[in-house]
């Protein structure tokens, strides 16, 4: 439970960061626990994280600001182990080096700066630039689905850890507006919610805009449907050649002509013989 001093300090800092958020950073405390803060870092331009949506938590001690928070980033980034405590000079790994004058905005600005560097520490990982760009493209999907499968579990422990595969429940509770935006984005980009990959034409047949419109008007009148079918028949006939449309008439006419000629020639032969 937060001390009165910690509650007062964090309440003031929330007002400050809401009014004037640092670049690429937003954050708020949980409604149930003012010591649990949720942040979103937006990947800055000209970095492998450009446009990525990186969600994490700060777990403050009851005696904050005289001790630093535990820092985690839940969204896979190719930079940090998901939902793992990070060893930074501004985190609970180094309580003696923490300055009580540092605020939430200071901590998150430091985290963003460390993220865009290549310095290694406990909780960080190595990845190529291409891999980090791929992670960035999948951040919205991961946050709003928890990684797509509720069967997964990254095995993280401790207060503030998020289980991969939670279906996005925790993210949705803390960031309902962002989750709604992410769901819309996934629909527009045709992202498979189970895999995070675009739905290809092989898994779902491509429809022309006209056909898509017909599907939307599935409850239309029989007259409308009949008109569409008739127009389709006309279009198919217009696309065929005269020979293609009349080939059976030609075949039958030729056969009948052959029979008539054969009979005429046969009658002439009989008359000559007589």
Residue 200 in this model has a pLDDT that exceeds 50: yes
**Rounded to whole angstroms, how far apart are CA atoms 47 and 271?**
102
The pLDDT of residue 14 is above 80:
yes
SS3 of the chain: helix, strand, coil, percent, to 5? 45, 10, 45
pLDDT band at 61 (very low <50, low <70, confident <90, very high): very high
At residue 191, what are phi and psi to the nearest 5 degrees? -90, 130
Residue burial 110-127, b: 16+ Cβ < 10 Å; e: rest: bbbebbbeeeeeebbeeb
Mean pLDDT of all residues in 219-227: 37
Domains of the chain: residue spans and CATH: 4-188 (3.10.110.10), 209-273 (no CATH)
The residues annotated with a catalytic role in the active site are 87
User: Which residues have a Cβ under 8 Å from the Cβ of 193 and sit 6 or more positions away?
Assistant: 141, 145, 148, 186
Q: Taking 90 as the threshold, does the pLDDT of residue 22 lie above it?
A: yes
Chain segment 28-53, per-residue pLDDT in tens: 999 999 999 999 999 999 999 999 99
Tell me the per-residue pLDDT of 225-250, one tens digit each, with 9 for 90 and over. 333 333 334 334 444 445 555 656 66
pLDDT in the model for residue 163: 58
pLDDT score recorded for residue 211: 35
pLDDT digits (tens, 9 = 90+) for 134-193: 999 999 999 999 986 444 444 445 555 665 557 799 999 999 999 999 999 999 999 999
Average pLDDT along the chain: 80
Q: Which one, of 111, 130, 135, lies nearest residue 51 by Cα?
A: 135
Looking at the predicted structure, is the pLDDT value of residue 89 above 90?
yes
The residue among 268 and 125 whose pLDDT is bigger is 125
Q: Which residues, at least 6 apart from 105, have a Cβ–Cβ distance to it below 8 Å?
A: 13, 16, 17, 21, 22, 25
pLDDT at 245: 54
**Which of these, 45, 40, 37, 48, lies nearest to 79 by C-alpha position?**
48
Per the CB < 8 A criterion, the answer to whether 52 and 135 are in contact is yes
What's residue 215's pLDDT? 37
Could you give the percent of the chain with pLDDT greater than 90?
62
Residue 212 has pLDDT above 60, yes or no: no
């Amino acid at each position: 439970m937060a001390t009165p001093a910690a509650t007062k300090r964090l309440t003031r800092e929330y007002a400050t960061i809401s009014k004037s958020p640092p670049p690429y950073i937003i954050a708020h405390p949980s409604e149930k626990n003012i010591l649990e803060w949720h942040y979103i870092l937006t990947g800055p331009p000209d970095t492998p994280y450009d446009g990525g949506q990186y969600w994490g938590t700060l777990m403050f001690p009851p005696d904050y600001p005289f001790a630093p928070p535990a820092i985690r980033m839940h969204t896979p980034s190719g930079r940090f182990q998901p939902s793992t405590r990070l060893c930074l000079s501004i985190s609970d790994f180094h309580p003696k080096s923490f300055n009580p004058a540092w605020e939430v905005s200071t901590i998150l600005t430091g985290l963003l700066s460390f993220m865009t560097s290549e310095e290694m520490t406990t909780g960080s990982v190595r990845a190529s630039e291409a891999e980090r760009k791929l992670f960035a493209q999948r951040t919205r999907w991961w946050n709003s689905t928890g990684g797509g499968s509720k069967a997964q579990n990254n095995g993280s422990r401790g207060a503030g850890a998020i289980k991969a595969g939670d279906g996005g429940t925790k993210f949705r509770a803390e960031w309902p507006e962002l989750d709604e935006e992410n769901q819309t984005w996934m629909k527009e980009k045709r992202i498979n919610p189970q895999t995070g990959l675009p739905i290809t034409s092989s898994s779902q047949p491509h429809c022309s805009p006209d056909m898509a419109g017909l599907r939307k008007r599935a409850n239309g009148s029989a007259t409308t449907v009949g008109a569409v079918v008739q127009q389709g028949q006309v279009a198919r006939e217009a696309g065929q050649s005269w020979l293609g449309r009349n080939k059976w008439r030609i075949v039958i006419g030729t056969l009948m002509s052959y029979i008539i000629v054969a009979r005429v020639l046969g009658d002439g032969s009989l008359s000559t013989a007589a």
